[in-house]
Amino acid sequence: MSDRLLVLVRHGQSEWNLKNLFTGWKDPDLTELGVKEAVQAGRKLKELGLSFDVAFTSALTRAQHTLDLALKEMGQTNIPVTKNLALNERDYGDLSGLNKDDARAKWGEEQVLIWRRSYDVPPPGGESLKDTLARTLPYFVQEILPCVLRGERTLVAAHGNSLRALIMVLEKLTPEQILKRELATGTPVIYRLNADATVASVVDTAK
């Protein structure tokens, strides 16, 4: 039995991250910096002596591109990759594509902050973090976790909010705690799980 390895990595900087736009399910690609971050993520994992048997990513280009670049850097482009919209970023609804400053001007700073940072208040036409968890967690439990528990070393490249939803469950965080948890772009978080799916150890390579 392998050591039940699960690595989560948020995509590198996207074109809309750079422009300060709400992205959600919109599909911009990586910036030049984002490409470098993805390559660096692969290099970091390789330096740590990690390799993978399977990988999962979202239906969005920025996450898929990050995964491709990281696997190429590790020399592991031949492993099976599963793409699923269950791992997509939180849907920002009517905010998608808007500059964050313009959104504050339209709805007020306090309201936009509530939409961005509350656990269960969705923006108009979009998802809250709670909604994102309800979408992401069943897929994780049914498709990703069984791979890890079988000893298949598993890499997941996805998005800030879909990954925070998983981290909330893995680390048993409260809604208040997960709201304070930031995930840096292109930075792997490395978990090793016990046989009962609890976390044996976690290393956030940003720290």
Count of beta carbons in the 10 Å neighbourhood of residue 70 = 30
Residue entry with tokens 């995930």: 183
DSSP assignment, residue 119? S
The number of CA neighbours under 13 Å toward the Cβ of 20 is: 6
3-state SS assignment for residue 38: helix
Q: Report the pLDDT value the prediction gives residue 205, as an integer from 0 to 100.
A: 87
Q: CA–CA separation, 207 vs 204, rounded Å?
A: 6
pLDDT classification of 1: cutoffs 50, 70, 90: very low
Catalytic residues: 11, 89
Q: What is the pLDDT of residues 131-182, one digit of tens each?
A: 999 999 999 999 999 999 999 999 999 999 999 999 999 999 999 999 888 8
Distance between CA atoms of residues 70 and 13, nearest Å: 14
Crossing angle for the helix pair 32-47 and 61-74, to the nearest 10 degrees:
40
pLDDT of residue 6: 98
Give residues with Cβ within 8 angstroms of 175, minimum separation 6.
119, 120, 129, 130, 168
Q: What is the pLDDT of residue 12?
A: 96
Sheet holding 188-193, edge to edge: 81-83, 54-57, 154-158, 5-10, 188-193, 199-204
Q: What structural domains and CATH numbers belong to the chain?
A: 5-204 (3.40.50.1240)
